Amino acid sequence: MKSIAVSAPNLQDHCKQTPTRRSLLIATLLTAAIATTVLSPVNQGFAKSDPAHSAINLADINVNDGFSDLVKAVRPAVVNISVTGTTQSAGNTPGLNKQSPQMEEFFRKFFGQIPQRQNSQGQQETYERKTTAVGSGFIIDSDGLVVTNNHVIKNADSIEVVFEDGTRVPATLKGIDSKTDLALLEIKTDHPLPYVIFGDSDQAQVGDWVVAIGNPFGLGGTTTSGIISARGRDIRSGPLDDFIQIDASINRGNSGGPLFNTRGEVIGVNSAIYSPNGGSVGIGFAIPSTMAKSVISQLADSGVVERGYLGVHIQALTAEIAESLGIENDDGALVTQIIEGSPADQAGLEAGDVIVSYDDKTLSKMRDLPRFVAMTSNGSKVKVKVWRNSSYKTINVSIAVNEEPRLASALPADKNPIPLGLKLASVDKEIRNNYDLDEQAAGVIIIHVEPDSSAAQKGLKPGDIIRRVNQSDVTVPVDVTDAIKQSRKDNKDSVLLLVERDKKSQFIVVSMRA
């Protein structure tokens, strides 16, 4: 029997390794490679997408004795995705000169690549290679709309949808969304197709049973089951991460496949695994259906995704910063900068505001805000509740379309207090020239940091601009001094600085203790 080598690189650029777990990486569920290589990076908008009109009958599903009824009902709508593409390669065997055509064919046949070689000028030559890969998908409309992952079809020259009985149908790409790793395909047939419906992933709870169906390693129609292990996982694959974690076994090739609840509704799109070796270790991740529905609906309508734009830079609200602002807990997002002319600017949001709820949805963590904003449609009027000057305030904001890759930029949280050890100066013409600042630069600039101070350890350096101390803007060094004196009179142990560097701002708590 001819063996098939399957290989896929872990996506180290999608998720940083931690020092204590360098061998354990987040890996996108790369499609299983056949013979050559892997293509790297897996409703409310549909009128027919409800149980009453579904081509698949979910009424008779009984999971008391297992999942066989569920699988029989939904499996006809789960498909395999076959992709062919072309990649540029220089091989990986250095130091060899031009080989004979027979030798090149040998390497292509048995290794899927040819050795690196040099031309007559000593320059490295590159080659085009044909690649074939497989993934998973599911039909969401009787006319032939198919959901899968963006990384499954990325760089594809041709795409085919393969049905359970082996029938292959050419597919066209209707739209992609790289931020959520979703893609929508379209196929044409002479008969209505069975399809599944999206459920409400917000109702899914940790401990609920789930069933995954897909095409791991090219083994189509594979069913696995498990439970929801966690919600709201951030695997650092993008700014909108909100994954469902599952322990149902999923592997390379499961990308783009559906995750079902026990009612036969799709509550997730299987997308990534946490693995030291590329295989399943019982930690998988699925895109929630509440996010997927909105994206897929827009792709179906126009082929593109429009996201809401607020126009703020934010950072995490630490317990230390919360205490300095007088807010009871550290839930929410701390605004560090307002983009000029943005909806936030026009509505009157300010740097130093702590956003605690958005459109009546409470922020339990900073990264909730970019996701909430992104899912807001253009022109929507939303209520933003903020903590400002020791009291809550509700501000009405008219959300615009995000035309640039900036939803709500997150800056790293500051966790360590620092003592004062700074020499300051006003931002004047000479300072602007010396530090290459633009005309809009305003505040008090740091011109020296004591080498042994915690300020130096924290990374504050000459050229940083202090724009605010506590709740007051500062323009001259005495403003900073007065604010520090007032904080001491108020028996505070620290002051809160808004520091700008390279046109990006961040709040830092500065301890006044010796």
Residue 178: predicted pLDDT: 86
* Phi, psi of 76, deg, nearest 5: -60, -20
Active site residues: 151, 181, 255
CB 244 within 8 A of CB 289: no
Q: Buried b / exposed e across 419-444, counting CB within 10 Å, b at 16+?
A: bbbbebbbbeeebeeebebeeebebb
Residue 304: predicted pLDDT: 83
CB 506 within 8 A of CB 315: yes
- Chain-centroid distance, C-alpha 82: 25
The one-letter code for the residue type at 428 is: D
Instruction: Tell me which residue has tokens 């789960």.
Output: 78
Residue 392, helix vs strand vs coil: strand
The one-letter code for the residue type at 72 is: K
Q: Which helix (H) or strand (E) holds 73?
A: helix 68-74
Segment 17-75, tens digit of pLDDT: 333 333 334 455 544 443 332 222 333 334 344 443 455 777 667 777 789 999 999 99
Strands 156-162 and 78-89 come out as antiparallel
Q: Buried b / exposed e across 122-154, counting CB within 10 Å, b at 16+?
A: eeeeeeebebbbbbbbbbbbbebbbbbbbbbbb
Side-chain-side CA neighbours of residue 351 (13 Å)? 24
Residue 25: predicted pLDDT: 43
- Chain-centroid distance, C-alpha 386: 25
Q: Provide the residue count of the chain.
A: 514
Q: How many Å apart are CA 504 and CA 337, to the nearest integer?
A: 7
Set out the domains of the chain in order of their start, with CATH numbers: 19-84+134-302 (2.40.10.120), 91-125 (no CATH), 308-411 (2.30.42.10), 422-511 (2.30.42.10)
Q: Which two structure tokens, joined as six digits, stand for 214?
A: 């897909």
Q: How many Å apart are CA 275 and CA 281, to the nearest integer?
A: 6
Q: How many Å apart are CA 413 and CA 508, to the nearest integer?
A: 9
Q: How many Å apart are CA 142 and CA 187, to the nearest integer?
A: 10
Q: Which two structure tokens, joined as six digits, stand for 128?
A: 């085009």
Which among 313, 336, 340, 349 has a CA at the least distance from the CA of 440?
340
Q: With a cut of 70, list the residues of the chain below it in pLDDT.
A: 1-55, 59-60, 86-129, 278, 403-420, 452-458, 512-514
Which among 139, 291, 140 has a CA at the least distance from the CA of 201?
291
**pTM, entire model:** 0.64
